[in-house]
Chain A
Amino acid sequence: MDLSSFAGPFLPEILLFVGVLSVFLLDVLGVRRIEVTGAVAVIVTALALLFVVADLGFAPFAALATVPAGQVNSVGGSAPLYTFTTLGFVFQGIFLLAAFLVSLASMSRPSDERGAPIFFGLLLLATLGMTLVAIASDLIFLLLSIELTSVATYLLVAYTRKDVRALEASMKMYIIGALSTTLSFFGASLLFGAYGTTNLYEIRAVAGAVGSPVLVLLGYGFLMAGLAFKATLVPFHAWAVDVYDGAPTDVTAFLTGGSKKVGLFAFFLVFLGPVLFLAPGAGGSPFSGGTIDLGPIVQITLSILAVVTMTVGNVLALLQKEMKRMLAYSSISQAGYMLIGIAVGTSPALAGATLQMFAHVFMKTGAFLVVAAVAALGVGPLIDDWKGLGTRRPLLGVAFGLMLLSLAGVPLTVGFVSKFVLFSSAVQAQGYFVWLAVAGLLNSALSVFYYARVLKVMFFDPSASAPTPAGAVVGGSGPPALPVGGLGYGRATAIALIALAILVFGIYPQMVLGPIQSAAQHFVAVGA
């Protein structure tokens, strides 16, 4: 096997790796300016995104596809570590999109900031881990890739090394992350004990036939708990709000827009392929013939987790006074919506959950980027500090309003389409899943309260006194104001792109829905 045929399919990953190395190398060589390191990150993520889009077969780029068509959606060899699936490409796209938008926006930070190379290097490293998660088809490969992402994000949260709150957040995330990793690996080792393999396809082939029920149940239980921490599901969510709140806001945008979905995608891989897509009732009742039919147990557990997660997230979001914490809880509730799709487990539901994650990249990354931009303008952390912002800065206000409306699921935004597809797929699956859709809709209605409240504060409440930009000394000369009304080109472009995407995909979703649907169908057919 020559190098190019082996390396070709990994072009996006190789690009990211080269990006990581060059950013750290530039740091060593003393080139630390944000214009250089940031540009490397933006270009690398954009190129990798382009190749992934090409792999998905979008007409104008299809010629650039790096993975030969024959290798997509087919399990090569026995017990492969990785498999290229269409769904994997979709998720690589989602992860790279979040990384691209965050890098682009971060270009607007002060150009002499000390941590810039570390920030962009770690961002790329975390993204590399995420793209590996997307192609994993072996439990150990999957968990190691998650670990790569996690380690990079622990450091990312504390990259400034000065901010006490960020350090605390990083520590918290590290301790919880270590615990969750331990649980996941323990679960994986129990499953290895039960099935004699860690390959997800092989598990799928033998599950239902071999494996002692106790080992299988415990194994999946530990694995679920470990992954639930990553995906911020209630009751494993407590760390997330403090971390999202304490981390630098650009990092939060990346955590919630990108790395949190790693946990959810791992749910796809671990629970859908090997567990749900088995012929239903292969073993008769759950505990018959010495093995166990996990399908119904997993579905009910995931359904309960979904309902609890979205309800708790929404209710707590209602009570928040700080913008970042409100958005953090709303992010938790969104994980609950996505879990609906995994619990239902049909290919339409998978497509709905995937679309919801795609939409979430724009909505939540965008919202946190706006929060970062607004904080840079000198506005305080409380929701009430945003009074009159919409009338002072109409374009920024409209963009943020769009993101909130999309999160609330108001039509003409991508958030509506994704919720619509997701909930309608649950209704279509019938049975008790209809109640999942009802719970989701009630939660959507509930969430309108706190999103509308922010809109009201931004647009209707009279403005407080105009804030002084961060760093400006009263009576002295502060740092020079950034272009585009203090946002800077990078942030302004990222926010504008996101607002545009929310509308475009909200009005004409077919261009992403088509590929996502076929990806979900392939996934159901192939498994992991």
Chain B
Amino acid sequence: MDVPLLSVIVATLAVGTVGTFFAGARARWVALATSLVFLAEVGLLFLTYPGWPGYNGALVPGFAEGESYSWISLSWMHINYTVGVDGISLVLILLTAVLQIATVIYSWAETKRPAAYFGLVLLTCLGCFGVFIALDVLLFFLFWEAVLVPMFFLIGYWGGPNRRYAALKFFIYTHVASIVMLVGLLALVFYSGATSFDFSAMYTAAHGLTGVVPAFLFLALFFGFGVKFPIVPFHTWLPDAHVEAPTGGSVLLAGLLLKLGGYGLIRWAVELLPSGLHTMQPLLYVVAFLSIIWGSVLSLSQRDMKRLVAYSSINHMGIVLLAIALDSSLGLMAAVLLMFAHGIVSALLFMASGSVHHTFGTRDIPEIGGITPTTPTLSTLIMVGSLASLGLPALISFPAEFAALLATWNALAYWVFVPLIILVVTAGFYIWMMQRMLFGPPRGVPLEAHDVPWYEGASMGILAVLAVLFGVLPGLLVNVIMSSPIKGFPGT
């Protein structure tokens, strides 16, 4: 394909973002149009990708749609604008496009400086898209940090009562982590003697590293990416940021920003430093189990629905980390699928908790009950989200969690009972939440309460449909992921 599709998408998003900032009252239309074009282009990307059914080419090893231009060229380092996608990035790019459009629709009635709000939403998505396509260390870091600034403003300006503290905490935690990650990546370049900052050059050079160096580099990268995950004990920014962020911000935060951590770990740490992963495996297991257990235990004790979903994110991302740490192709596939699933489901639940807040004036689970007769649409969507989150078959999380547990069983045998038992607890707190909020006699329902407006219903509806679609047909995504040129995958 001759059109540099990836750069075209970057340009689309950049033009759309700038246009949105200056569109004034029509910002939401510009944002929606940009999102639709983005989605269409991502669709095109899928159609031209080998792993998609209906694509009639042979499996192509290497990154598809690759582009590379010299950017900074000095005697001692060569930095290029190199982009490309494989199945893993493609799945997460789809998630970006879907969540962008859902967020724009959900925030349709935003009245507080809408142009700046929609512009920042688009800028966040542009950064995430860039992270998923970048194959050069500096380009990757650039997009990685480009996500941080708009999110800082989204939380800090549009957030809840304690937003300033939360925004500052979010910025500092993630920025410090980014710096450690950058040191790790730079050290990786210079210690491995890679000739350029490109992924392929580093891939070749990094595999020649021996001794303790890869382990230390892996540790730095693991810390850098782990804070975004977030891993226990560096998770405390997450509940604060989530609770204070506006709903759109929470959706992007949970749906996309956490995935950056997972994606980064796979692409820049696991793929580049397999021996480092091997040495550090026990540490990753401990951290993963801690995150799974601690996230779940904290969820149980939450009254605030948004906080509950936030803590359950820690739990789910813990399973993602576990699946990555297993160092098997099945585990890797499960991790990516689970990230996609969690992106859809947590976005749905955060939107639902935002709608609960709009409708009932509170998100406190014990204070409201029996809302189903008043708000049937919202209740249905909460139910779909919760059931998907607890891993009901035929919904999107199930195949992912099943694959993750299977991979855990293959690698760790009876340790699989740790996540398994915790899954039961997760199911417990979601069912308990539904029981208290949705059913029973009405409690704390204001007389004037009515069902969610069309835009909130529509955006959550899109996500619910996707949760069902990919729950029934997970193979669509699995094929794409498994055709990535990663060792152990059938494509290689």
B145 at the interface (CB under 8 A from A): yes
Knowing A423-B186, A428-B190, A456-B156 are in contact, say whether A445-B75 is a contact too (CB < 8 A).
no
| CB-defined contacts of A452 to chain B, threshold 8 Å | 152, 168, 171-172
| CB-defined contacts of B187 to chain A, threshold 8 Å | 427, 434
Q: Is the CB of B171 within 8 A of A448?
A: yes
Return A356 CB to nearest CB of chain B, in Å. Answer: 15
Q: Contacting chain B: which of A172-180, A197-205, A331-339, A405-413?
A: A405-413
| CB-defined contacts of A444 to chain B, threshold 8 Å | 179
1/0 per residue, CB under 8 A from A, across B375-414: the answer is 0000000000000000000000000000000000000000
> Can you offer 28 A-B residue contacts whose CB atoms are under 8 A?
A348-B75, A410-B145, A411-B144, A411-B146, A412-B145, A417-B72, A424-B186, A427-B187, A427-B190, A428-B76, A428-B77, A428-B190, A437-B183, A445-B175, A445-B176, A448-B171, A448-B172, A452-B152, A452-B168, A452-B171, A455-B152, A456-B167, A459-B153, A460-B157, A460-B167, A510-B71, A510-B72, A510-B73
Contacting residue for A459 out of B71, B157, B176, B182, CB 8 A = B157
Within 8 A of A (CB), among B155-184: 156-157, 163-164, 167-168, 171-172, 175-176, 179, 182-183
Contacting residue for B164 out of A424, A438, A456, CB 8 A = A456
Return A185 CB to nearest CB of chain B, in Å. Answer: 38
Within 8 A of B (CB), among A341-386: 347-348, 351
Q: Is the CB of B156 within 8 A of A460?
A: yes
| CB-defined contacts of A453 to chain B, threshold 8 Å | 168
Q: Is the CB of A449 within 8 A of B172?
A: yes
A513 at the interface (CB under 8 A from B): yes
B309 at the interface (CB under 8 A from A): no
B138 at the interface (CB under 8 A from A): yes
Return A473 CB to nearest CB of chain B, in Å. Answer: 34
Return B123 CB to nearest CB of chain A, in Å. Answer: 11
Q: Is the CB of A424 within 8 A of B77?
A: yes
Return B79 CB to nearest CB of chain A, in Å. Answer: 9
B149 at the interface (CB under 8 A from A): yes
| CB-defined contacts of A459 to chain B, threshold 8 Å | 153, 156-157
| CB-defined contacts of A347 to chain B, threshold 8 Å | 75
Find the B residue at minimum CB distance from A423: B186
Expressed in whole angstroms, the Cα–Cα distance for A455 and B149 within the complex equals 11
Contacting residue for B76 out of A405, A425, A442, CB 8 A = A425
1/0 per residue, CB under 8 A from A, across B67-111: the answer is 000011111110000000000000000000000000000000000
A441 at the interface (CB under 8 A from B): yes
A430 at the interface (CB under 8 A from B): yes
Return B193 CB to nearest CB of chain A, in Å. Answer: 11
A420 at the interface (CB under 8 A from B): yes
What are the 3 closest A-B residue pairs judged by CB atoms, nearest first? A411-B145, A411-B142, A460-B156
Knowing A424-B186, A456-B167, A460-B167 are in contact, say whether A509-B172 is a contact too (CB < 8 A).
no
| CB-defined contacts of A212 to chain B, threshold 8 Å | none
Q: Is the CB of B179 within 8 A of A441?
A: yes
B141 at the interface (CB under 8 A from A): yes
Knowing A445-B179, A449-B172 are in contact, say whether A427-B149 is a contact too (CB < 8 A).
no
* Chain B residues engaging chain A, CB cutoff 8 angstroms: 71-77, 138, 141-142, 144-146, 148-149, 152-153, 156-157, 163-164, 167-168, 171-172, 175-176, 179, 182-183, 186-187, 190
Find the B residue at minimum CB distance from A424: B186
Expressed in whole angstroms, the Cα–Cα distance for A448 and B152 within the complex equals 13
Q: Is the CB of A405 within 8 A of B149?
A: yes
Q: Is the CB of A427 within 8 A of B164?
A: no
Within 8 A of B (CB), among A59-100: none
| CB-defined contacts of A252 to chain B, threshold 8 Å | none
| CB-defined contacts of A517 to chain B, threshold 8 Å | 74-75
Q: Is the CB of B74 within 8 A of A513?
A: yes
| CB-defined contacts of A521 to chain B, threshold 8 Å | 75
| CB-defined contacts of B167 to chain A, threshold 8 Å | 456, 460
| CB-defined contacts of B179 to chain A, threshold 8 Å | 441-442, 444-445
Expressed in whole angstroms, the Cα–Cα distance for A246 and B392 within the complex equals 68
Return B412 CB to nearest CB of chain A, in Å. Answer: 36
Return B97 CB to nearest CB of chain A, in Å. Answer: 23
Knowing A423-B186, A445-B175, A510-B71 are in contact, say whether A348-B76 is a contact too (CB < 8 A).
yes
Contacting residue for B72 out of A428, A442, A513, CB 8 A = A513
Within 8 A of B (CB), among A194-236: none
Q: Is the CB of B146 within 8 A of A412?
A: yes
| CB-defined contacts of B77 to chain A, threshold 8 Å | 424, 428
1/0 per residue, CB under 8 A from B, across A396-425: the answer is 000000000100001110001100110111
Return B111 CB to nearest CB of chain A, in Å. Answer: 15
Expressed in whole angstroms, the Cα–Cα distance for A427 and B153 within the complex equals 33
Return A395 CB to nearest CB of chain B, in Å. Answer: 12
| CB-defined contacts of B144 to chain A, threshold 8 Å | 411
A461 at the interface (CB under 8 A from B): yes
| CB-defined contacts of A410 to chain B, threshold 8 Å | 145, 148-149
- Besides A411-B142, A417-B72, A455-B152, 8 more A-B contacts (Cβ < 8 Å) are A411-B145, A411-B146, A427-B187, A437-B183, A445-B176, A448-B175, A452-B152, A456-B167
| CB-defined contacts of B148 to chain A, threshold 8 Å | 410
Expressed in whole angstroms, the Cα–Cα distance for A430 and B190 within the complex equals 9
Return A243 CB to nearest CB of chain B, in Å. Answer: 31
Q: Is the CB of B190 within 8 A of A412?
A: no
Within 8 A of B (CB), among A150-202: none
Q: Is the CB of A461 within 8 A of B72?
A: no
Return B165 CB to nearest CB of chain A, in Å. Answer: 9
Expressed in whole angstroms, the Cα–Cα distance for A416 and B144 within the complex equals 13
Return A358 CB to nearest CB of chain B, in Å. Answer: 15
Expressed in whole angstroms, the Cα–Cα distance for A348 and B163 within the complex equals 43
Expressed in whole angstroms, the Cα–Cα distance for A452 and B156 within the complex equals 11
Expressed in whole angstroms, the Cα–Cα distance for A425 and B142 within the complex equals 19
Return B68 CB to nearest CB of chain A, in Å. Answer: 15
Return A341 CB to nearest CB of chain B, in Å. Answer: 14
Q: Is the CB of B164 within 8 A of A460?
A: yes
